[in-house]
Structure 1
Amino acid sequence: MADVPWLTLAAAVPAVGALGVSLVPRGREELAKRLSLLVSLVVLAIVVGLGLDFDRHASGFQFTEMHDWIPALGASYSLGVDGIALVLLALTAVLAPVCLLASWHDVDLGEGRSRPQAFFALMLLVEALLVLVFSATDVFLFYVAFEFSLIPMYFIIGGFGGAQRSYAAVKFLVYSLLGGLLMLAAVIGTYVAGPGGKHGFLRTTLEASHLDPTTQRWLFLGFMAAFAIKAPLWPLHTWLPDAAAEAPPGGAVMLVGVMDKIGTYGMIAYCLPLFPDASVWARPVVIALALIGIIYGALVAIGQADVIRLVAYTSISHFGFIALGIFAMTSQAQAGSTLYMLSHGFSTAGLFLVAGMLVARRGSRRIADFGGVQTVAPLLAGSMLLSGLSSLALPGFSSFVSEFLVLLGTFRRYEWVAVVAVLAIVLAALYILLLFQRTMTGPVVEGVGGMRDLVAREAWVVAPVIALLIGVGVAPQVVLDVINPAVQRTMQSVHQHDPATVLKPAAAEGAPK
């Protein structure tokens, strides 16, 4: 059992499945869909097995594999997961079958569109590459998987998206490739400045090297630029609303709910441990950008007339919270940020998928074209309400725990930053509740009266997402026990400690007040 390369299998199964699905002949679309769903469920079973066998008390990498890949470059095929990577691996494995099932009829043949087989094959390829991204322990392998993941997502947006899909796909690719180019220069520089050798790209090797502060800063900027674009961190966010709005709903969930986590994962897993001094040096600037993004994303979301773009802008605000927690550099904030990545993935999935169902039924993305939906489709309205309440961090949902930990951990080091960030909670309540009020309540508007409620397939799409949002919210310690050892290891790598809690001495009995 221990000798089985489970992480390689988790990446190879969807990669081989993608090839098989792409070869399904025209006219057998139903077979391609069923095969892709089966493959994604096999990956989910593998990841569940890894989670059950994971040692929650260990801070290092587990299920490790290492083989020579390109010895002349010092690159290795090296895999392993710690608690942070395992959580994101689980997010990928859960949302992949959900997105495939949600896309069952969304990408059928239409004018100017590719075969549905291509869409389902591309989605499996995205899953395979994300598994490699989150489990790579070699920086060069991480970079290659990071860059290759752009290609299938580009074709998902450009081949199966909305009317402006070509523009959105190109904008997504240009932004991402620009960040990747800067990261490539930093990857090469990291190897040259490090010890080099046969395994010179291994994370453990590079973390143990001691680079001078100036070199660290330049290399940090290269990595951080790529991760800030991917996250997306304000002001490098402008590609996200276009890409998310034009992508098919399942593709939007994989993009915003999972793929964009590469950015925040890279910050905590690569920027901080590899460049500790530079991370502390850049901390004030990153926190300022994160704080602006938190408020900016929420304010712009309130003013949106397009339901899909509204959800996309809420994600900019949420990613600001995640980046804030990472660079606050307290154990509570970083644990909260990691849990936030998981919570945001599920809550955004719920909102995007329900919004996609509404748009498919109504034929419009304009919020003003909806109204009174809860009268004719109560299950659909209830699904949006629960996903929205999770997005605004209502107690009882996992996002409440993660957001609370980020704010609490930030407050211990930067009180005023946490106070300003709390304003976003009020703004979140505004954009979610106003969205629900305008679309779901009131009289039934023309064109909504015949809207059907959730069918069985759609119920299977939203039910697991909502169940996990509530389940993790009720018992967050199950996930935090996995995350915390890896967070402590990250804190040690940047030589940071939680600020001491200062308690005011109690007044002596009988002393004047």
Structure 2
Amino acid sequence: MNDTALQYVLAGIVVLPLLGAVGALLPAPPGLRGRNPDQAVLRHGVTVTGAVLILAIVLAAGFDHDHPATMQASTDLTWIPALNIHIHLGVDGISLPLLVLTALLTFLCALYSYFKMPAGPSPKAFVALLLVLEGGTLSTFAVLDLMLFFLAFETVLIPMYFLIARWGGAGREAASLRFILFTLLGSVIMLLGLLLIGLKAGTFDMVALATDNGSSLSHSTQLLAVLAIGIGFAIKAPMWPLHSWLPDAHTAAPTVGSVLLAGVMLKMGTYGFVRIALPVAPDGMHTFAPYLAAFAVVGIVYGSLACLALARKGAGGDLKRLIAYSSVGHMGFVLLGIATLTPTGVNGALFANVAHGLITGLLFFLVGAIKDRYGTSDLDRLTGENGAALYGRAPRLGGLLAFAAVASLGLPGLAGFWGEMLAMFGAFKPADGLSRPTYLVFTAVAAFGTLLTAAYLLAVVRRVCMGDKGTAESGQPVLSDVHGYEFAAWTPLAALTVLAGLWPAALLGLTDPAVRSLLGGS
């Protein structure tokens, strides 16, 4: 497929969800209303997100895989001449996997919601917000102008706020407020950093800035820019200790909100580090890299210890909250890989990004299903004296939960293994100028974190999947196993987790040339 055709495909990927959001709020045409208007608008969401997924697959198929470092499907139109702001779109080996992941997860969430709509206000508003969220996220990964990046970055905050506040569970008001306050504060600081870069360099074009590789920015400017944009990205990642909004948001969010928050939105922060901070301000990143690595490994251990505490009997730990804290640890490996400033580490970070989206998205789907069946995600209430016995009472659901857990702990042969291993390999031999003994300590701490991860995930599997399934007379609820719509929504994530684990070259072949180009400034 030629580049002109790909331009229209990429433009369609960005614009179609926003048009679909407007369409969701309009009255359905008479022939499409069906017997249930709510089902009609939910079907509209499935149709639009399905069309976006098809376009993303077409984009991936037409992408020139022999030149993944080259920006492809580029569109560059002047938007605000006075400020030299352009509507600049493009995709390379770094952004393409994230675009496809976003389109896939949003479609699966729309499909899941068609059959299991979360309790709350009008489905029209729910579908519209879901599509705006998708459009903003896809735009974040597709735009190549700093100001457009900021606008896209901000677009996702409002729909996620309302998804939590209106369709969430207990504590949703406080959780949504904390989410919006943390992320907006980080965004304001990030905007100052982006403006500093654009005004000092004379352009907001991310490709030109990456090619320049910081030569037009003084060392002090780079330091200030990395500090400002780094705070914004670190909050979204989230990096310890700026993570405290995440557990509450995940615990209160509806199932599809948790899936998109973990599977897509967290990736926006780490993508920003790779796309903007690394190539545009390399001297500033070199200065702050050891501190970023230190916070990353503290986050790895902290997240794992928090999960161990929640998994303990009698702690009253919430399963959704536990998975949220696990994200703090897993994203710590992503940040550690970025902080090595090496192709190995950054490739590991990008691989771990995608793997986390697949695995944690699946985990939140499964936890949501367990909560629907038991009426709670509290581990103590869920498991009782002898465990929840999913293996005996809903064996397919229990088997999927065990699969997702061992994938999350980094079992070789599954997607979770490669990203974390490459991040630690990068830390074992960091970029020139970084203290190798310091990074060896970081590597050791991260490796210890993998042991803690295995400990809490295996504890969860033991408590939730094993135990006495009881009898019909025991008073325990009768559980249904995996439904057809759940199987349809979860199977792609499980299959891709296996595929990425067995064939990592498919993803690394895309990211590696693009990463080397960004780090070299060529």
TM-score by length of 1: 0.92
Deviation string, structure 1 residues 133-170 (Cα, Å, up to 9, x no partner): 00111011000110111111111111100121111111
1:115 is matched with which residue: 94, 119, 122?
122
Deviation string, structure 1 residues 327-348 (Cα, Å, up to 9, x no partner): 1112111111101100000000
Aligned partner letter, 2:318: D
Q: Does the 8 Å CA contact 2:3/2:72 hold for their aligned counterparts?
A: no
Deviation string, structure 1 residues 159-216 (Cα, Å, up to 9, x no partner): 1001211111111000010001101111221122112xxxx21012323152110111
Question: Which stretch of structure 1 is more off in the superposition, 397-406 or 316-325?
Answer: 397-406
Deviation string, structure 1 residues 396-416 (Cα, Å, up to 9, x no partner): 101111211111121123322
1:19 is matched with which residue: 12, 22, 39?
22
What is the CA-CA distance between 1:23 and the residue it aligns to?
2.3
The verdict on how the C-alpha distance between 1:432 and 1:483 changes in structure 2, with shifts beyond 3 A counting, is same
Partner residue in 1 for 2:171: 164
Q: Aligned equivalents of 1:442 and 1:290: distance in 2?
A: 36
Partner residue in 2 for 1:429: 454
Matched, 1:443 2:461: no
Partner residue in 2 for 1:28: 37
Q: Does the 8 Å CA contact 1:57/1:485 hold for their aligned counterparts?
A: no
Partner residue in 2 for 1:283: 289
Q: Aligned equivalents of 2:26 and 2:172: distance in 1?
A: 25
Matched, 1:382 2:399: yes
Matches within 5 A, 1:74-93: 74-93=84-103
Q: Aligned equivalents of 2:154 and 2:165: distance in 1?
A: 17
**Unmatched tracts of structure 1, length 5 or more:** 496-513
Q: Aligned equivalents of 1:303 and 1:55: distance in 2?
A: 48
Q: Aligned equivalents of 1:185 and 1:328: distance in 2?
A: 26
Identity %: 35
2:479 match: secondary structure: coil
Partner residue in 2 for 1:456: 484
Matched, 1:51 2:60: yes
Matches within 5 A, 1:224-373: 224-304=230-310, 305-368=317-380, 369-370=382-383, 371-373=388-390
Q: Aligned equivalents of 1:309 and 1:163: distance in 2?
A: 13
Aligned partner letter, 2:327: S
What is the CA-CA distance between 1:106 and the residue it aligns to?
4.2
1:394 match: secondary structure: coil
Partner residue in 2 for 1:501: none
Aligned partner letter, 1:51: A
Q: Aligned equivalents of 1:448 and 1:178: distance in 2?
A: 46
Question: Which stretch of structure 1 is more off in the superposition, 221-230 or 91-100?
Answer: 91-100
Aligned partner letter, 1:290: A
What is the CA-CA distance between 1:420 and the residue it aligns to?
1.5
CA RMSD after TM alignment: 1.5
What is the CA-CA distance between 1:381 and the residue it aligns to?
0.5
1:233 match: secondary structure: coil
Deviation string, structure 1 residues 211-253 (Cα, Å, up to 9, x no partner): 1101111111110010000000000000000111111011111
Q: Aligned equivalents of 1:133 and 1:375: distance in 2?
A: 44
2:186 is matched with which residue: 179, 198, 210?
179
Q: Aligned equivalents of 1:103 and 1:179: distance in 2?
A: 31
Partner residue in 1 for 2:143: 136
Matches within 5 A, 1:199-218: 200-207=203-210, 208=212, 209-218=215-224
Deviation string, structure 1 residues 78-101 (Cα, Å, up to 9, x no partner): 001111111111110111111122
Question: Which stretch of structure 1 is more off in the superposition, 272-281 or 209-218?
Answer: 209-218
Matches within 5 A, 1:408-423: 408-413=425-430, 414-423=439-448
Q: Does the 8 Å CA contact 2:289/2:340 hold for their aligned counterparts?
A: yes
What is the CA-CA distance between 1:490 and the residue it aligns to?
2.1
What is the CA-CA distance between 1:448 and the residue it aligns to?
4.6
The verdict on how the C-alpha distance between 1:448 and 1:221 changes in structure 2, with shifts beyond 3 A counting, is farther
Aligned partner letter, 2:508: L
Aligned partner letter, 2:3: A
What is the CA-CA distance between 1:297 and the residue it aligns to?
0.4
Q: Does the 8 Å CA contact 1:56/1:485 hold for their aligned counterparts?
A: no
Partner residue in 2 for 1:2: 3
Q: Does the 8 Å CA contact 2:292/2:335 hold for their aligned counterparts?
A: yes
Aligned residue pair count:
487
Q: Aligned equivalents of 1:449 and 1:242: distance in 2?
A: 28
Q: Aligned equivalents of 2:115 and 2:184: distance in 1?
A: 31
Q: Aligned equivalents of 2:479 and 2:321: distance in 1?
A: 22
Q: Aligned equivalents of 2:167 and 2:115: distance in 1?
A: 12
2:81 is matched with which residue: 59, 67, 71?
71
**Unmatched tracts of structure 2, length 5 or more:** 311-316, 431-438
Aligned partner letter, 1:291: V
Q: Aligned equivalents of 1:451 and 1:60: distance in 2?
A: 51
Question: Which stretch of structure 1 is more off in the superposition, 50-59 or 286-295?
Answer: 50-59
2:3 match: secondary structure: coil
Q: Does the 8 Å CA contact 1:14/1:124 hold for their aligned counterparts?
A: yes
Question: Which stretch of structure 1 is more off in the superposition, 427-436 or 367-376?
Answer: 367-376
Aligned partner letter, 2:375: G
What is the CA-CA distance between 1:430 and the residue it aligns to?
1.0
Q: Aligned equivalents of 1:127 and 1:140: distance in 2?
A: 19
Q: Aligned equivalents of 2:357 and 2:334: distance in 1?
A: 12
Q: Does the 8 Å CA contact 2:197/2:217 hold for their aligned counterparts?
A: no
The verdict on how the C-alpha distance between 1:164 and 1:143 changes in structure 2, with shifts beyond 3 A counting, is same
Partner residue in 2 for 1:511: none
Q: Does the 8 Å CA contact 1:231/1:262 hold for their aligned counterparts?
A: yes
Deviation string, structure 1 residues 102-123 (Cα, Å, up to 9, x no partner): 2235435x5xx32122112211
Aligned partner letter, 1:178: L
Q: Aligned equivalents of 1:104 and 1:485: distance in 2?
A: 40
Q: Does the 8 Å CA contact 2:292/2:339 hold for their aligned counterparts?
A: yes
Partner residue in 2 for 1:62: 72
Q: Does the 8 Å CA contact 1:106/1:248 hold for their aligned counterparts?
A: no
1:3 match: secondary structure: helix
Aligned partner letter, 2:147: F
Question: Which stretch of structure 1 is more off in the superposition, 204-213 or 325-334?
Answer: 204-213
